[in-house]
Amino acid sequence: MIPATYPDPHTMAQMTARMLLDIKAVHFNAAEPFTHSSGKQAPTYIDCRKLISYPRIRATLMDFLTCTVMRNAGLEAFDNIAGGETAGIPFAALVAERMALPMTYVRKKPKGYGRDAQIEGQMNAGERVLLVEDLTTDGGSKLKFVEAIRKTGALCGDTAVIFFYDIFADTLPDLAAEGITLHYLCTWADVVAEARRAGDFDEETLTEVERFLAGPDAWRAARGGG
């Protein structure tokens, strides 16, 4: 069912941050930084995959995401909802159900056997596709998934995520240069603000996290890292 009403964007951002903190999807540790898939270290880590195990929170956030997309892009803007492998697949299915649209998913690379497919499900030339994932860091994976979608002849100019890092200056311009609009619910700034308001982490930890978010490369360089 398509949600009929929804809070304003600021309230949705605050509520999304609260939910992520409540299920302990947010991790801060400046003393022992996390190593991300890029090989770079950071005092922050977020695990949006945990959301699939919390039905009430999951349902609320998928309502928020669906309403955000419809508010920004229009109620009849899409013909197909595509999930990015792997974290985007369950969220794409949930959004597709709400919007009463077909769902597909995009592999990171062709399967390598059988039909050697990179798109699973039915995607047709000319269809307007919304790409759904769990989060966006610098937007690199979104560009690769959109490229695969466009190779089918389908159109893809929008991607929706629950969480957007919003700490890399080039992310939105790089997406825009490829004709892609990013829709999202909350950012690191929203999470830090909510964590400080509710006392989820001590002030020293939050201050160090804010130093990182203000300049990731400078933060790593100051610690002798890459």
What pLDDT score was predicted for residue 226? 57
CA 131, 135, 140 angle in degrees (round to 5)?
70
Q: Is the pTM of this model over 0.85?
A: yes
Inside any domain, residue 4:
no
Inside any domain, residue 134:
yes
Measured CA to CA in angstroms, residue 76 lies from 101, 130, 132, 220 at distances of 10, 12, 17, 44
| Residue 131 contacts residue 103 (beta carbons within 8 Å) | no
Domain that residue 22 falls in: 9-222
Q: What is the pLDDT of residues 100-148, one digit of tens each?
A: 999 999 999 887 776 778 999 999 999 999 999 999 998 889 999 999 9
Inside any domain, residue 13:
yes
Domain count, the chain: 1
Inside any domain, residue 1:
no
Give me the CATH number covering residue 60. Answer: 3.40.50.2020
Low-confidence ranges of the chain (pLDDT < 50): none
Q: What is the pLDDT of residues 199-211, one digit of tens each?
A: 999 999 999 999 9
Inside any domain, residue 55:
yes
What pLDDT score was predicted for residue 224? 76
